[in-house]
Structure 1
Amino acid sequence: MSNMIKTYVPVLTIAGSDSGGGAGIQADLKTFSALGCFGTSVITATTAQNTLGVKSIHDIPVQHIKEQLEAVLSDIRPKAIKIGMINRPEVVEVIVEALGQYPDIPVVFDPVMVATSGDRLIKEETVEVLKKELFPISHIITPNMDEAAVLIGKAVDSLPEMEKAASQLLTYGSAFVLVKGGHLNGDSVADVLCGHDGQMQVFKSEKITTGNVHGTGCTLSSAIAVFLAKGMEVEKAVELARNFVFQAIDAGKTVKTGQGSGPLNHFHQPKKMIIHELDQ
């Protein structure tokens, strides 16, 4: 075994920081760790945030974001990249330029626009830039119903409308679109996956009654990135990521954290670090 080395599976998150620990960078890194990957991060903004809402947002200087990207990508090249909160057009441009040098790394983009509390997290002028520049380099985008509505300019509040929205969003250039239906009325949750092959796949699961859903979207997109990093196809990555989130919500449904919308239990599974054996 002397001629073998061990490495962790590295996954990068580019997103905002949640000081309350339930969403954003914090949720991403917890997800990577829980699923056996080594997480690296590029922070685009910090928030003064807790379970009750977002108090303020501090933008990280664009030059520093660029330097974070260069530092991570040049040394710990990720097997997949998750992108979350980007609230300024100039940040989009820096990210697209940097990732253009790594077209083989799958990108999971969660277009975070509104926090669970209802607080707006993105500037209006950024939306069009995201569609034009970031969607085309994304392997999969994962908007929820509200975000999909903002992106296509009309309400999305039923399963048929989610399917139409997924097809429309594909025209912006990503390989896949996953429209999340966590807010659908009824006893079940449905997510719609659509790809350029025309196949529409609907994933359904039981809706868990709980107030602890802060960071659900961040966790799902991060889990998808993990499974893509491990070499899985998108359909399987989405299926496994949804299972992980379902279990994390179920495990945390009776836990009290803060006075508002609490987090998931990311570490509900025994932690098993997954390694690759590489020839030296």
Structure 2
Amino acid sequence: MPDLSPVYHIVAQLLPFECLRAVFMQQAMVGLILLAPMAAAMGVQVVNFRMAFFSDAISHSAFAGVALGLIFSINPHWTMPLFGLLVGLGIMAVQRKSTLSSDTIIGVFFSAVIAFGLAVVSRDRSVARDMQRFLYGDILTISNNDILWLIALFIAFMVFQALSYNRLLYIGLNSSLAKAHSINVATYQYIFAALLALIVMFSVWAVGVFLVTAMLIVPAAAARNFARSAGAMFWWALLVSVTSAIAGLVISAQDWANTATGATIILVACLWFMISVFTSFIRRDSVR
């Protein structure tokens, strides 16, 4: 396994906070710095594609994926992303073939994964106690192996975004017109759904099942208020997401705060959103 200690040392040098002297805090910071940009970029596209409910359904599939891992004594870090990936691709496949609305299909899958997770947990009451860290998130437990997987996902995600960002934007605006211009809509939608599912699953480790959608949506919503173009929205979302992740981790580690890291990250992002709303009000008034 590659030695990541030089990376942790660089993070500690660039962010000289006392709480980052501990190795597990450095690992958590590296994990968030990798995860936050992916969540931000994906969040912009989720907002443009109107797929917030889709990401919510995938995040709740983590509940069933973890439960399966705990029941069958398999590492939940394997069963959770695999199950989420299957759910994401399943939703996309049914959505493309069915005449029902997207919200209806996602609602059915959402109900199914929640019910399945509860059914699995109900078979073994001891499993319920182990579910708490996945419900609320615990980025402080991230390991070297997890970070290596995050690095691989980050590289794959950035390559996909570099090659297909404009095409995805086109598909989001009008999929029929994109198809008429020889864009393979199905391929891009399936890859997008797969990457979204994996990013959501990793985000569950950071902020928990309850706040995953917020990690995607809040930075993108704030970015839309700040930005005046699609490109600017992308960069604003990155800024909001990364600064929220860094500030959230540092604040949560302070003695005067002592709060859950995931919840603190989302609260900082929501503060960014309130600032963006105030900024948009000022901009509208100045135009008038």
The one of the two structures with greater contact order (alpha-carbon pairs below 8 A, sep at least 6) is 2
Structure with the larger strand share: 1
Q: Same fold (TM over 0.5)?
A: no
| TM-score when normalising by structure 2 | 0.31
